C-alpha cells in the first residue's frame, strides 16, 4: 500500500506510452489536424507555380476525356515558346494513340515536359529504405513518350479512412527502379539537385547536402496544402491557353498574355467535375489532385513542411502532461483542479495551434486533452471514494463517541425520592452539545441540571463532557443552585475560549416538598401546577450564560411542590424548530401541547410531545439538538 501511488503513476505512464505509440486515436488526431489546417493563417504560394486546368469548359469545347493528343502537342508548343520552365502533366498517358510519335517529338523538342505514372502499392509494402514496394503499374507511360520525357514521377496518394488525401509516398519502388513523387521530382529538377545524391534518414530525406524534407518513419510526406483550391496558385483554363496561342499565331490580339508563363512551373491536370482525379482534403470536400502535386512542389521550394513530432518525443510530452495534470488534481480542490486542468488543456491547445501555424510542427492534440480529462475524472472519483471511506470511518467513530456521550448521562427513567423523571436527548448530528444530569444529593434532595453548549457537533460534545464532570464535582460542594452555577461558571470560564453554556439547575427536596432553582441564560422552564388550569413559564435567567465572565453571579428561586406538579425543562431546539413554511414551533405550541397532556403519565407526555413536534416539522431537517426533562412530584415522603 505504501508504494501503491507510485505503481499507479507508472501504470498511467505506461498506458500513455502505449496509446501514443499504437496511434489508437489517429482518426481523432486527423480530425484535429484538419481543424488546424482550416484555422491557421494563410500563406502565399510560390509565385512560379501555376496550374492549367482541364476543366469543364475545356471538355465542353474540345470533347470528352481523354483528349486527342494533338491538343497536348499544341499546349506543349505554346508553353515552350512562352518560356515556361517546366511542363508537368498530372495525367496518365498509358494508352497509345496514332500520333504518339508526333507527341513524343514535341515532348523531346521541348525538353521540359514531365509525365505521370501510377502504381498499386503492396499492403504493408514499406521497405527498409523507407520506399514503398509496388507490385503493379496501373498507369505506365507508353513508348515512345517514356523515353522522350524529361522525367517521370508517380502520382500515388494515400487516402485515409475518412476518404481524405493528406499524405503521399515520396518514393515507390517497382522492380529495380525508384519512382519519385511527381511534385517532388518537379521541385528537385527546378532546384537543380541530383536525385543520385539523396540520403535517407529515419525522419527526413537529405539532398544536395543542405536541403532536407521531413518524412514520417513510414516514408510518407504530409501534403502541405497552402489553402483552398480556389484561393491558391494561379489557375488558367487549358482551352483558354490554346485559344490564346492560336490567336497569337494568327496575328490576332490574344486576350491572355502568354508571357505570364515565362519561367513558370506549369502543372497540367484534370479538374472537371465528375472525373476520377478528385479527392477530399482537410480544406476541401472536392480537390483536384493536380493541386496536391503542385502543393508538394510548393512546400519544397518554400521549405514550408508539416513535421510531425517523433513517436518517442510525443511519449515524453504526453507523459509530462499526465504528470502535470496529476499534480494539479492532487494539490487542488475539485473546483480549482477543474479550472487548472481547463487552463492546462487550453494552454496546450493554444501552443499546439501556434507551433503548427507558424512552424509547421504537428503535435498530437486529441490524446493529451483526453489524458487531462481522464486524470481529472479519475482523481475526482478517487477523492470521492476516499471521502466516502473517511466519512464511513468518521461515522463509526462518531457512533462510538455518541455511545460514550450517552454513558455520561443518567438512566432515562428514575424513581426516587418521591419524584418520577423522564429525559430525552436527540442530537442534530451524531453527538450533541446539549446535556443533562440527575444527581443524588445528601438527604432527600435530588439535583436536576439541563444545559446547552453554544454550537453543535464534536467540539460542543467535548465541552459537554467537561461541563458534566465539573458539575458533578461542584454540585457536592453546595446545596444552593445559584452557588453551584457560580462555581461551575468559574471552572468553565477558563476553558471555553469565547464559547458559552446556558443552563438551569434545580434541587428538589422531596421530604420538604420544596424545589429551588437558578438559571444561567437558559429559557425558562414550564411548570404544570396541578392546582392551575394554565401552564406557567418560571425560573427566568438570573445571570449570563456560563463561561462568559468569571465574575458572574446568579440568584436562586424557591417554590413549593404539590403532588401532581410537573416541571418541564428544555433546550431552545424545541422552540426554534421550523417546518417547511419557515414557521417556528415556538413556546406557545409547546405550552399548549404540554397542557393538553397534563393528566397523562410522564412517559406518555414525553413520547407524545416529541411526536407532535416531529409532525410539525414534517420532513424538514433537524437543525439543533433536542433535550428535555420532565419531572413529576408524587408527594412528600421519606427516602
pLDDT digit string, tens, across residues 274-331: 888 899 999 999 999 999 999 999 999 999 999 998 889 999 999 999 999 999 988 8
The three-state secondary structure class of 105 is helix
In this model, does residue 557 exceed pLDDT 50? yes
Closest among 164, 176, 167 to 127, alpha carbons compared:
176
Average pLDDT for 497-506: 90
125, pLDDT greater than 80:
no
CB 527 within 8 A of CB 560: no
Give the separation between CA 604 and CA 600, rounded to whole angstroms: 6
CB atoms within 10 A of CB 367: 22
Percent of the chain with pLDDT over 90: 53
- Which pLDDT tens digit goes with each residue over 79-97? 999 999 999 999 998 888 8
pLDDT for 276 equals 85
Query: What average pLDDT does the segment 476-499 reach?
Result: 89
Which are the contacts of 635, defined by CB distance < 8 A and separation ≥ 6? 418, 513, 563
- Where does the pLDDT of residue 246 fall: very low under 50, low under 70, confident under 90, or very high at 90 and above? very high
Q: Residue 209 above 70 pLDDT?
A: no
Q: What confidence score (pLDDT) does residue 4 get? A: 66
| Per-residue model confidence (pLDDT) at position 74 | 95
Mean pLDDT, rounded, of the chain: 88
CA distance 53 to 288: 9
Lowest model confidence (mean pLDDT) among 56-70, 189-203, 360-374, 393-407: 393-407
Residue 329, C-alpha cell as written in the block:
488534481
The pLDDT score that the predictor gives to residue 582 is 84
The predicted-structure confidence for 143-188, as pLDDT tens digits, reads as follows 889 999 999 999 999 999 999 999 999 889 888 888 999 999 999 9
Give per-residue pLDDT as tens, 504-531: 999 998 888 899 999 999 999 999 988 8
Could you report the per-residue pLDDT of 589-612, keeping only the tens digit for each?
999 999 999 889 999 999 999 999
> Which tops the pLDDT comparison, 194 or 95?
95
pLDDT surpasses 70 at 359: yes
Identify the burial level of 302 via C-beta atoms within 10 angstroms of its C-beta, where 0-12 means exposed, 13-18 middle and 19 or more buried: middle
pLDDT of the residue at 534 = 86
CA distances from 117 to 46, 74, 136, 139, 180 (A): 25, 22, 11, 5, 10
- Whether 639 shows a pLDDT value over 50: the answer reads no
Backbone φ, ψ for residue 482 (5° rounding): -65, -40
**DSSP-assigned states of every residue in 505-561:** EEEEETTTTEEEEEEESPPPEEEE-TT-SS-EEE----BPPBTS-TT-----EEEE-
The three-state secondary structure class of 122 is strand
DSSP-derived secondary structure letter, 287:
E
- Pairwise CA distance, residues 104 & 143, whole Å: 8
Q: Which stretch of 107-121, 197-211, 360-374 has the lowest confidence by average pLDDT? A: 197-211
Average pLDDT, integer, range 487-513: 89
DSSP 142: P
pLDDT in tens, 371-430: 999 999 988 888 888 888 888 887 676 666 666 666 667 765 555 567 889 998 888 777
Residues in CB range of 437: below 8 A, 6 or more apart: 408, 409, 410, 447, 448, 449, 468, 471, 472
Identify the burial level of 274 via C-beta atoms within 10 angstroms of its C-beta, where 0-12 means exposed, 13-18 middle and 19 or more buried.
Answer: exposed
Domains of the chain: 49-308 (no CATH), 411-633 (3.60.40.10)
Annotate 305-329 with DSSP letters as a single string: --EEPPHHHHHHHHHHHHHHHHHHH
CA-based radius of gyration for the chain: 48
For residue 619, how many C-alpha atoms fall within 13 Å in the half-sphere facing its CB? 0
Q: Could you tell me the pLDDT band of residue 192, with boundaries at 50, 70 and 90? A: confident
Which pLDDT score, from 0 to 100, does residue 382 have?
84
At 248 the pLDDT is: 87
With vertex at residue 366, the alpha carbon angle to CA 361 and CA 371, rounded to the nearest 5 degrees, is 120
With a threshold of 0.75, does the pTM exceed it? Answer: no
Grid cell listed for 60: 465542353
Lowest mean pLDDT among 275-279, 334-338, 460-464, 614-618: 460-464
Q: Which of the pair, 125 or 599, is modelled with greater confidence?
A: 599
Amino acid at each position: 500500500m505504501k508504494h501503491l501511488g507510485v505503481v499507479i503513476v507508472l501504470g498511467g505512464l505506461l498506458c500513455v506510452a502505449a496509446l501514443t505509440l499504437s496511434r489508437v486515436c489517429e482518426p481523432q488526431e486527423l480530425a484535429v489536424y484538419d481543424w488546424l489546417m482550416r484555422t491557421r493563417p494563410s500563406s502565399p504560394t510560390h509565385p512560379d507555380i501555376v496550374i492549367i486546368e482541364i476543366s469543364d469548359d475545356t471538355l465542353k469545347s474540345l470533347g470528352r476525356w481523354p483528349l486527342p493528343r494533338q491538343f497536348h502537342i499544341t499546349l506543349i508548343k505554346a508553353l515552350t515558346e512562352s518560356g515556361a520552365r517546366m511542363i508537368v502533366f498530372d495525367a496518365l498517358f498509358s494508352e497509345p494513340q496514332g500520333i504518339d510519335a508526333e507527341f513524343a517529338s514535341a515532348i523531346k523538342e521541348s525538353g521540359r515536359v514531365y509525365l505521370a505514372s501510377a502504381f498499386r502499392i503492396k499492403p504493408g509494402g514499406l521497405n527498409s529504405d523507407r520506399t514503398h514496394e509496388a507490385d503493379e503499374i496501373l498507369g505506365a507511360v507508353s513508348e515512345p513518350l517514356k523515353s522522350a520525357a524529361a522525367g517521370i514521377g508517380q502520382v500515388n496518394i494515400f487516402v485515409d479512412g475518412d476518404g481524405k488525401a493528406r499524405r503521399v509516398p515520396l518514393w515507390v519502388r517497382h522492380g529495380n527502379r525508384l519512382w519519385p513523387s511527381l511534385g517532388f521530382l518537379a521541385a528537385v529538377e527546378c532546384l537543380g539537385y541530383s536525385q543520385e545524391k539523396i540520403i535517407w534518414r529515419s525522419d527526413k530525406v537529405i539532398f544536395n547536402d543542405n536541403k532536407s524534407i521531413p518524412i514520417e518513419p513510414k516514408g510518407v510526406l504530409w501534403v502541405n496544402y497552402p489553402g483552398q483550391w480556389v484561393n491558391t496558385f494561379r489557375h488558367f483554363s487549358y482551352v483558354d491557353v490554346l485559344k490564346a496561342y492560336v490567336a497569337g499565331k494568327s496575328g490576332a490580339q490574344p486576350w491572355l498574355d502568354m508571357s505570364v508563363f515565362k519561367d513558370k512551373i506549369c502543372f497540367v491536370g484534370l479538374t472537371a467535375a465528375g472525373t476520377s482525379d478528385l479527392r477530399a482534403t482537410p480544406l476541401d470536400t472536392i480537390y483536384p489532385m493536380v493541386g496536391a502535386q503542385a502543393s508538394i512542389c510548393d512546400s519544397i521550394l518554400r521549405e514550408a513542411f508539416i513535421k510531425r513530432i517523433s513517436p518517442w518525443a510525443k511519449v515524453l510530452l504526453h507523459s509530462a502532461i499526465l504528470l502535470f495534470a496529476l499534480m494539479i488534481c492532487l494539490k487542488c480542490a475539485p473546483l480549482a483542479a477543474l479550472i487548472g486542468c481547463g487552463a492546462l488543456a487550453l494552454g496546450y491547445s493554444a501552443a499546439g495551434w501556434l507551433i503548427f501555424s507558424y512552424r509547421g510542427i504537428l503535435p498530437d492534440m486529441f490524446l493529451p486533452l483526453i489524458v487531462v480529462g481522464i486524470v481529472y475524472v479519475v482523481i475526482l472519483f478517487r477523492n470521492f471514494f476516499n471521502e466516502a471511506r473517511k466519512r464511513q470511518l468518521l461515522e463509526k467513530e462518531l457512533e462510538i463517541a455518541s455511545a460514550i456521550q450517552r454513558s455520561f448521562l443518567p438512566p432515562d427513567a428514575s424513581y426516587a425520592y418521591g419524584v418520577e423523571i423522564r429525559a430525552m436527548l436527540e442530537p442534530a448530528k451524531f453527538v450533541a452539545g446539549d446535556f443533562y444530569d440527575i444527581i443524588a444529593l445528601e438527604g432527600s434532595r435530588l439535583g436536576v441540571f439541563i444545559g446547552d453548549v453554544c454550537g453543535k457537533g464534536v467540539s460542543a460534545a467535548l465541552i459537554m463532557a467537561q461541563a458534566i464532570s465539573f458539575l458533578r464535582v461542584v454540585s457536592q460542594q453546595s446545596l444552593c443552585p445559584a452557588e453551584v452555577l457560580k462555581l461551575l461558571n468559574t471552572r468553565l470560564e477558563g476553558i471555553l475560549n469565547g464559547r458559552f453554556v446556558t443552563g438551569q439547575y434545580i434541587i428538589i427536596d422531596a421530604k420538604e416538598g420544596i424545589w429551588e432553582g437558578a438559571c444561567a441564560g437558559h429559557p425558562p422552564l414550564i411548570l404544570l401546577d396541578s392546582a392551575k388550569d394554565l401552564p406557567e413559564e418560571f425560573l427566568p435567567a438570573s445571570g449570563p450564560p456560563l463561561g462568559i465572565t468569571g465574575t458572574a453571579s446568579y440568584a436562586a428561586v424557591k417554590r413549593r411542590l404539590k403532588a401532581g406538579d410537573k416541571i418541564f425543562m428544555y433546550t431552545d431546539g424545541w422552540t426554534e424548530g421550523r417546518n417547511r413554511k419557515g414557521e417556528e414551533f415556538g413556546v406557545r405550541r409547546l405550552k399548549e401541547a404540554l397542557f393538553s397532556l397534563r393528566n397523562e403519565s410522564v412517559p406518555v407526555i414525553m413520547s407524545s410531545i416529541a411526536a407532535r413536534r416531529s409532525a410539525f416539522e414534517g420532513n424538514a431537517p433537524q437543525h439543533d439538538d433536542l433535550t428535555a426533562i420532565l419531572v413529576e412530584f408524587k408527594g412528600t415522603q421519606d427516602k
